[in-house]
Amino acid sequence: MNLSRAYTVNARKYGYTTVFRIGRVKIPTLALVVQREKEIQQFKSRKFYELTGTFEKDGISLQQNIHRLPQFQRMKKGVCSIRSCFRR
């Protein structure tokens, strides 16, 4: 007897008339949904930085976006050192 049948038969003893579907796919999928919901509830927003630059050489233009930069190191009066952000 599979688990869906066992749950349905047992539930009928308590007056339920519906079929309870329990399966190999449904339970793990439900666990993923619950886990994701917990992650969403625990989410805390944080600052997000985006750096956009347009470069041109020999008549060829290129626009580049960099997302989620590490924290900038301040040099003086709000000026950031890009070089210090990309050190490894």
Name the pTM for this structure: 0.37
Element (H, E) at 80: strand 79-80
Name the amino acid, one letter, at 41: Q
Element (H, E) at 51: strand 50-57
| Confidence (pLDDT) at 88 | 43
Digit-by-digit pLDDT tens for the chain (88 residues) are 688 888 899 999 999 999 888 777 777 888 999 999 999 999 988 777 777 888 888 888 888 887 665 555 555 555 555 554 444 4
Q: Token pair for residue 66? A: 């960099």
